[in-house]
């Protein structure tokens, strides 16, 4: 077996850009021409919302934008990570002032990040230093105790005035807030507060760029995309020869020759094409392949295919997990699995027809005719959040009919056998089939009724919890009191439910999971509470780098 055993090799496959050292970040990340276009938008003055699924490079783009803004010298970039917002979610069930409590946390994160930025730059600002201490103390308390006392911190409007004052002390013309993991995707209450908060963070001297998730983001009634902030898509399109060139460049920059020599060029190209423009998926495929391949060249194609199928299963598991993380959408998630199977079947049937007609180009996308059933729109949004599909924002017309195009993840296409070839295709041929060279004819046209049966569409209903006291179903989702017994209707804490989840839900090997169980770490909460990594590091086969990765996986399970 070709294993990745050494800790320094494991660190090469770190999935989250914020966990890299500045040296690793600079050496291992490479912007594409697509990225360069996004970076230019992130450096302009207007507010931006950077959207994309997990692992597509939003954090990398924000950090690189910060570096470019810093080089220019006229503005001061401040990176703020809101990834732990879910840790404040219990307050929404336990406090009457939960909106204000969460807003305090949002403000505190900015002040703490601003203070840390000033300390790095060695800028003297006593008022910021004292507020930074208050902010850090509150952040720690708020994430552990939903009843923590609220501090004396400024509101959003007062915060912008303070930021303008601090900008002057740093001799900067303006402040650019780079807000990562903005407001938890599974807590609409947080999103509502967050987007109202954002509306008040814009002045001539203060602007923001916020990373959000597609499909499940709920904007506040007063926040209007396009007017309050422009939407920027972070996903790298799997198109043209430059796509494979880019993926190979980040592969060569990140992995040393000793590791690259273990993998054939064909395998690298296939993984690059199948990764759907998501660098994290690309490196996850390589890591899994190295862990499982037994070094027999004749079996490399089979090992590569098995690796892609394994990743496809993990992607679908992520989508299925939304029924637990978003229980009110459980029926949409379950129906979404059937809809996804139908989309893959339709693409496979079209490619089979094309193969028999000896047509080279493979269909990779579906074009759905307007109007799209609202229930299917929700299903596609959940699939997009999980990274299984992507709205391409291409308008397609056939006669009087208009369509919206959706791309399907390359790993899913491979695993479902939706691509059709002659006997014994090379890995290079399979890779090239997954990369679009032309947008014309590379899709299957279908209406909503061709994806969802009437019975499946009817099954898509929001699931509302029954009264905990008498069991009577809620008459509506936002009902506050039970119509039968009068008891107050309180939703279960999503955070507490996620923390009680078994660690077996994490994408870890059986050996790693067994080692953690042997260390009496059975629930996500057991990992999350070990912030110093003391107990995780005691587990067999888990060194310092792996301990950090295990903790990061647990935190991401709760936080994203």
Q: What is the pLDDT of residue 557?
A: 85
**267-295 confidence digits (pLDDT tens):** 999 999 999 998 889 999 998 998 877 66
From residue 226, alpha-carbon distances to 40, 223, 231, 327 in Å are 18, 9, 7, 31
440: CB partners within 8 A, 6+ apart: none
Q: What is the pLDDT of residue 1?
A: 37
SS3 41: helix
Percentage helix, strand, coil for the chain under 3-state DSSP, each rounded to 5: 55, 10, 35
- 529 φ, ψ to 5°? -70, -15
CATH of domain 33-233: 3.40.50
**pLDDT category, 11, cuts 50, 70, 90?**
low
Q: How far apart are CA 490 and CA 426, in angstroms?
A: 57
Q: Is the Cα dihedral 345, 56, 552, 328 positive or negative? A: negative
Q: What is the DSSP string of 454-507?
A: HHHHHH-----PPPTTT-PPPSSTT--B-TTT--B--PPPHHHHHHTSBGGGSS
Give the rounded percent of residues in the chain with a pLDDT score beyond 70.
88
Instruction: Kindly tell me if the per-residue pLDDT of 53 is higher than 90.
Output: no
Token representation of residue 432? 């090239």
Q: C-alpha angle with apex 277: 413 to 306, nearest 5 degrees?
A: 40
Q: What is the pLDDT of residue 242?
A: 84
Instruction: Kindly tell me if the per-residue pLDDT of 168 is higher than 50.
Output: yes
Instruction: Kindly tell me if the per-residue pLDDT of 157 is higher than 60.
Output: yes
What residues does 209 pair with on adjacent strands? 48, 178
Contact indicator for 200, 231 with CB cutoff of 8 Å: no
**pLDDT category, 3, cuts 50, 70, 90?**
very low
380: closest CA among 318, 445, 313, 335? 335
**207-222 confidence digits (pLDDT tens):** 999 999 887 788 888 9
What residues does 501 pair with on adjacent strands? none
CATH number for the 500-559 domain, one of 1.10.3470, 1.10.3210, 1.20.1250, 1.10.150? 1.10.150
Q: What is the pLDDT of residue 45?
A: 85
Token representation of residue 465? 């919890």
What residues does 398 pair with on adjacent strands? 401
Q: What is the DSSP string of 21-42?
A: -HHHHHHH----HHHHHHHHHH
Residues 349-364, mean pLDDT to the nearest whole number: 87
**385-429 confidence digits (pLDDT tens):** 889 999 987 888 999 999 999 999 999 999 999 999 988 889 999
Q: Which residue ranges make up each domain of the chain?
A: 33-233, 240-452, 500-559
Kind and range of the H or E element at 108?
helix 98-121
Q: What is the pLDDT of residue 30?
A: 62
**58-86 confidence digits (pLDDT tens):** 988 999 999 999 988 889 999 999 988 98
């Amino acid at each position: 077996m070709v294993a990745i055993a050494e800790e320094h090799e494991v660190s090469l496959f770190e999935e989250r850009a914020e966990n890299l050292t500045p040296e690793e970040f600079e050496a291992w990340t490479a912007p594409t021409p697509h990225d360069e276009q996004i970076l230019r938008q992130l450096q302009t003055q207007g507010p931006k919302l950077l959207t994309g699924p997990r692992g597509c490079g939003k954090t990398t783009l924000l950090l690189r934008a910060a570096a470019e803004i810093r080089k220019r010298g006229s503005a001061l970039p401040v990176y703020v990570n809101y990834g732990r917002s879910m840790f404040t979610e219990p307050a929404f069930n336990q406090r009457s002032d939960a909106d204000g409590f969460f807003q305090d946390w949002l403000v505190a994160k900015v002040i703490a990040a601003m203070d840390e930025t000033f300390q790095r730059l060695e800028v003297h600002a006593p008022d910021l230093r004292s507020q930074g201490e208050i902010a850090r103390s509150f952040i720690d308390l708020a994430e552990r105790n939903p009843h923590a006392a609220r501090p004396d911190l400024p509101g959003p409007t007062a915060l912008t005035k303070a930021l303008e004052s601090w900008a002057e002390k740093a001799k900067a013309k303006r402040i650019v807030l780079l807000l990562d993991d903005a407001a938890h995707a599974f807590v609409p209450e947080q999103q509502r507060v967050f987007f109202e908060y954002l509306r008040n963070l814009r002045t001539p001297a203060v602007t923001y760029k916020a990373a959000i998730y597609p499909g499940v983001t709920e904007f506040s009634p007063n926040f209007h995309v396009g007017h309050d902030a422009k939407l920027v898509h972070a996903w790298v399109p799997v198109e043209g020869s430059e796509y494979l060139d880019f993926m190979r460049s980040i592969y060569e920059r990140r992995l040393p020759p000793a590791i690259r020599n273990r993998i054939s060029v064909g395998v690298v190209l296939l993984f690059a094409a199948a990764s759907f423009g998501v660098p994290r998926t690309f490196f996850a495929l390589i890591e899994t392949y190295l862990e499982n391949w037994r070094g027999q060249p004749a079996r490399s194609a089979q090992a590569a295919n098995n690796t892609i199928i394994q990743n496809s299963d993990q992607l679908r598991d992520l989508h299925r997990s939304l029924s637990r993380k978003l229980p009110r959408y459980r029926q949409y998630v379950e129906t979404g699995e059937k809809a996804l199977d139908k989309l893959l079947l339709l693409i496979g049937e079209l490619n089979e027809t094309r193969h028999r007609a000896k047509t080279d180009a493979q269909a990779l996308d579906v074009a759905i005719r307007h109007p799209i059933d609202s229930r299917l729109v929700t299903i596609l949004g959940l699939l997009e959040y999980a990274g299984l599909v992507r709205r391409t924002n291409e308008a397609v017309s056939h006669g009087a009919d208009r369509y919206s195009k959706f791309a399907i993840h390359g790993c899913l296409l491979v695993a479902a056998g939706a691509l059709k070839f002659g006997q014994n295709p090379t890995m290079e041929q399979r890779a090239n089939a997954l990369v679009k060279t032309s947008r014309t004819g590379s899709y299957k046209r279908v209406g909503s009724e061709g994806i969802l049966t009437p019975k499946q569409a009817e099954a898509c209903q929001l699931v509302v919890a029954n009264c905990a006291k008498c069991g009577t179903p809620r008459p509506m989702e936002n009902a506050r009191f039970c119509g039968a017994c009068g008891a107050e209707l309180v939703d279960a804490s999503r955070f507490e439910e996620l923390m009680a989840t078994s660690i077996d839900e994490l994408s870890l090997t059986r050996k790693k999971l067994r080692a953690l169980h042997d260390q009496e770490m059975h629930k996500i909460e057991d990992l999350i509470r070990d912030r110093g990594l003391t107990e995780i590091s005691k587990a067999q086969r888990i060194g310092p780098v792996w301990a950090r990765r295990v903790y990061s996986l647990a935190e991401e399970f709760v936080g994203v």
